[in-house]
Amino acid sequence: MPDVPLDSTSERTRSGVLATVRTHAVAIAAGLVVGAVVGYVGSQFLPTEYTARSMIFFEATGPFSPDAAGGGDDAVRFVANQAALVLTTDVLQPAADAVAVPIEDVRESVTAVAGSETSDVTITAVAPAAEQAQAIADAVANSYRTVAGQRVTTEADEAVAAISANAPTGAGAAAAAADGATEQAIRLRAAAYGDGVSAIEPAILPETASAPLPLQNALIGGLIGLFLVTGVNLLRDQRKAGTASVADLDLMLGAPLLSRYPAPGSRAISDLVNADSSSDRFRAANDVLTAIDVRLEGIRRPSVLFLSWQNHLSTTALTVSVSLAAAREGRPVVLVDGGGKERGISSLTDVSPGRGLEGLANLATPISASLRTWRVAKAELGVVPLSDWSPTPTSAAARPQVLRAAMERLRESSVLNLVDGPPLTERSLGLALGRGVDGVVLVLDEDTSVDDAQEMGRRIGIAGISAIGYVLVRAPRRRLRDDTRSSGRETAYESDMVVEEDRARA
């Protein structure tokens, strides 16, 4: 298997904005430039717009009233109300007719804002052409003034008509004259109020377009690219910082990295039993086999337990790969199903059930009652399946003395015994089983967290097992379903390859 540079895996990535900026400065700069270019180029495809503004200045401080002088106590509210009246249909429709533009377009392009400190309203019009924007702004201002004047005239006429219909006589006429509620007085008030507008400042023809703004859009695009690339790399760095590095795992597990093993892409038997000597998985199996030979040198016919922390299917595949690598060297190998999980060596090999580890550990029971033969990829492997296919968490998997006795009997018929161990759970049955073998190989996902690594190191220390090393499983392109990985339960293997099986010795 090709070596992976230690620089990217032996030390944990430092998290933090400054660390991310320093580490990914080139990528962040590229994001800034690309965002700016996209913003600038994208501006060329946006419609051109011009903005013109006209202003209405008010002399009155309140609405016209026929029986009182024009004005009021709340001038700010009065101006705000006039800004709202500018956008009514009564004002916009005459303006739209004056510039020959549909009222819907005028309504969408015009805004009116009341001054916060002065008695004025600013009318802003946006249009594709400068002349049109100017014309709309002026038309709306003039239309408002006309409508406001008509409203004052209408109110005065209604008040005069009411007086004429109920004209008082005698003493009542004299009292009305004293209060100013006469036709002449109302007309004078209306003339003095006028339309309430002191002046209108016409819009100036815009010389340059208000939109698009290529430089502004380039700046915005650059900032978006800057924050986007920085954010993505920051999240990746934080996630990587939470993942245990090789140095972390070496320290916490007290064992070295043996190899990286590509996980099976599916549950197909052809994927699990991969005997291609040119494949990365087979090279990884050879690396593990070499590590076992070096670590257990001097031990007569050693036994090794394979334990998984996450993907239990990868552990079974790795155990078979290592056994095939040993068989190619002419070594008699026995695969043992350690139990505790639904899909292990027993189901993969499809051999008939035997007496299992309990029978193998019993000296009164013949070895042949537990040992089966499996022929695969031109190799002959011994197999010790379960006594039945149902996992039993309280069975021999929890008793290392049973496994130790069974391994002693297997030394008579094999050179290397490999045990496909149960998954590691909160009860750590697999680690307890590790005391019945000569060494343990741990199988971990590459994205194992620091917290998981610490917990595994704690359990290894408590169990007192001898860890040969660990194997990092690389995720396949098409990962297994998350629910099976998280629960530790495997669905049935997919039989897409005929496996030759010799049952003569069963």
Main-chain phi, psi angles of 128, to 5 degrees: -65, -25
Q: What is the pLDDT of residue 486?
A: 42
pLDDT band at residue 490 under the 50/70/90 scheme: very low
385 pLDDT above the threshold of 70: yes
State the CB neighbour count (10 A cutoff) for residue 108.
10
Q: What is the pLDDT of residue 121?
A: 96
Q: At what angle do helices 214-241 and 25-43 cross, to 10 degrees?
A: 150
Q: What is the CATH number of domain 245-389+396-474?
A: 3.40.50.300
Angle at the Cα of 353 (from 347 to 358), degrees rounded to 5? Answer: 110
Between the ranges 12-16, 18-22, 129-133, 501-505, where is the mean pLDDT highest?
Answer: 129-133
Residues 6+ apart with CB under 8 A from 242: 449, 450
pLDDT tens column, 151-195: 999 999 998 888 877 665 544 455 455 455 688 888 888 998 999
Compute the distance between CA of residue 164 and CA of residue 260 in angstroms, rounded to an integer: 104
**Bond into 385 cis (ω within 30):** no
Please name the helix (run of DSSP H) or strand (run of DSSP E) that holds residue 198, with its range, or none: strand 197-201
Q: What is the pLDDT of residue 181?
A: 64
Average pLDDT over residues 139-153: 95
More confident residue, 335 or 181: 335
Q: Give the range among 9-23, 30-44, 293-307 with minimum mean pLDDT.
A: 9-23
In whole angstroms, how far apart are CA 429 and each of 309, 333, 438, 443, 466? 12, 24, 17, 15, 15
Q: What is the pLDDT of residue 11?
A: 54
Q: Give the range among 138-142, 246-250, 352-356, 480-484 with minimum mean pLDDT.
A: 480-484
Give one DSSP letter per residue of 121-149, joined into a string: EEEEEEESSHHHHHHHHHHHHHHHHHHHH
Within the chain, how many helices (H) and strands (E) appear? 19, 12
